[in-house]
A and B are shown apart, each in its own frame.
Chain A
Amino acid sequence: MSDYRVIEAKSSVFFDRYERKPELQQQTHYCPGCGHGVVHKLIAEAIEDLGLQDRTILVSPVGCSVFAYYYFNTGNVQAAHGRTPAVATALKRSHPESIVIGYQGDGDLAAIGMSEIVHAANRGEKFTIFFVNNAIYGMTGGQMAPTTLVGQMSTTTPWGRRPSNEGFPLHMAELLATLEAPVYIERVALCDNKNIMRTRKAVRKALELQRDAAGFSFVEILSPCPTIWKMTPAEARNWVAEKMLPVFPLGVLRDRKLPPSGNAVPPQHSVAELLELAAPGEAPSTLQPPRAPLPGLAVNIAGFGGQGILLLGQVLAEMGLRAGQEVSWLPSYGPEMRSGSAHCHVCLANERVGSPLVEHPQVLVAMNEPSLRKFAAQVAADGLVLYNRDALPAGFSVPQARVYCVPASEIADRLGAAKTANMVMLGALLELTHALPAETALAVLQTKVRNPALLEINRHALDAGAERIRKAVPPAILTTA
């Protein structure tokens, strides 16, 4: 007996068994003769040969290949229809050391996902897209795809695609080759042995380029869909050669040896630098390490646009930043920039802020009655409500919280600048919570209010707010009044 050794066998990048269905653990779900299977094999083989299995994340699409994650023993994410390039962008940017492979059909990539692929390619995202073009929507039973040939029947072009009504087939490889950023674009076909081997080479090359961090690589693969085309597997392969090749010429459309020059990392300024809290290059941590840990605080500030709602939140957040806290500021306003309702959420914390959304504020600053009515019930038990009038509306109460009525607008008006009502409220809030020292508020305001006279009014406003609290009637009496 002679010695035979295995030269071609199932790639170890495929799972041994596919868990999709208990009774079909050895079979993919693809129709006999479907091109997706061949593409899968070529990708798996390249991943294996290049030693990339542990680093690979495959993004499968919506389409017949939606279940690719049952087959590839790699990292897997299944993206919403057409969104593979967007998902791949996030994966590659957050895990630059990984090999991110997007797998897409022609409906997925060239119809619903057209915008994602164009922009990802244009940004030169450093991942690879394998685009399986079978000129039809396979999964949904044969509707026209953007790549359907002129004259080709589909369920939505039952008399054949007519350019006068449905336009011409889209040439995705050529279209993307008009962009500057991609480093490699090739169209290949699964029409015969020779071309399958060319496809194998292209798949491998695209992944090598990604391994070498070259840039965006794209391989369009003309692929048979015997089922929808209503052909035998052999006829379908011939149809790729005879009908698709004349419309979609094969070849390399882009092969750039060097990645485009330039550093993708934007110039870094720390938040502290941008807010003029630190000189360029100065480490923000040297700013002001927290002396004693300050109490965290979650605040909702609400009112009309123009009342300085968002600015009040900003000042509070920047104060926290100066005190070395983790902060977030989440503004929310309607389409009207003035006079609509506006609110913002501010978190001051001693650990990283998990979510900037404040569902149950410890403090609600309600600058008008609609905001009070809208948000009072959300205030946390034992929380605080600061209301911009000298009494609550008749019959209204906030049973779970302490309410302080601070007629900030009136006070500010008397000080000579109605728009400093927000600072009256800030003064009151700081006096009540001791969350941060009032001097920090002034330091922040100095960077925002350049007019010295106005700055002075702001200082008075802060003081007046604090003063109001010091003299306030205890809230229990107010709320029951």
Chain B
Amino acid sequence: MPSEPRGKVTINSNECKGCGLCVDACPPKCLELAPELTPYGVHPARYLGSACTGCGICFYACPEPGAITVYRMMPPPKSPATLSQEANRAATL
């Protein structure tokens, strides 16, 4: 099974004005403008469903307050071994 993307986004098509700025801004190019029209007559942005890194760039590129919501995968709980490794590293800094 391919590993799940680190991030994902949802687009509120009631808010999206189809300006396309998020599509341009997304580094891994995982957004596009959908072919269908919203009731406001614009092609809304949509997530292609893979490769989102959860970087948040599209959120800041978008002029609409709530058109985009960005999610990031929670880091898996750390094992006791990594925790003590980190503590050692911090102590030697």
Contact = CB atoms under 8 A, between A and B. Distances in A.
A32 interface: yes
A37 B4 CA distance: 32
Contacts of A11: 65
B56 A237 contact: no
Chain B interface mostly: loop
Contact of A234 (B4, B8, B12, B24): B24
A232 B17 CA distance: 13
A196 interface: yes
A182 interface: no
Chain B: number of interface residues, binned into ranges: 20 to 34
Interface in A1-33: 2-11, 14, 26-28, 30-33
B51 to A, nearest CB: 15
Chain A: number of interface residues, binned into ranges: 35 or more
Nearest to A25: B14
A3 B21 CA distance: 28
Nearest to B66: A10
Contact of A8 (B63, B64, B69, B74): B69
Interface in B5-29: 7-8, 12, 14-15, 17-21, 24-25
A140 interface: no
B53 to A, nearest CB: 11
A5 B74 contact: yes
B30 interface: no
B65 A193 contact: no
Contacts of A38: 60-63
A200 B56 CA distance: 13
Contacts of A36: 63
A248 to B, nearest CB: 20
Contact of A14 (B18, B65, B68, B70): B65
A41 B65 contact: yes
Contact of A4 (B17, B40, B73): B73
Nearest to B25: A193
A79 B36 CA distance: 41
Contacts of B4: 2
B57 interface: yes
Contacts of B57: 193
Interface string A30-47: 111111111011101000
Contact of A7 (B54, B64, B65): B54
Contact of B63 (A4, A14, A35): A35
A137 interface: no
Contacts of A196: 60-61
Given A2-B74, A14-B66, A27-B40, A41 B21 contact: no
A9 B70 contact: yes
5 contacts: A3-B74, A5-B71, A31-B17, A37-B62, A40-B65
Interface of B: 4, 7-8, 12, 14-15, 17-21, 24-25, 40, 42, 54, 56-57, 59-66, 68-74
Q: Which 9 A-B pairs have the closest CB atoms?
A: A37-B63, A10-B66, A32-B19, A4-B71, A32-B17, A8-B59, A33-B19, A8-B70, A26-B14
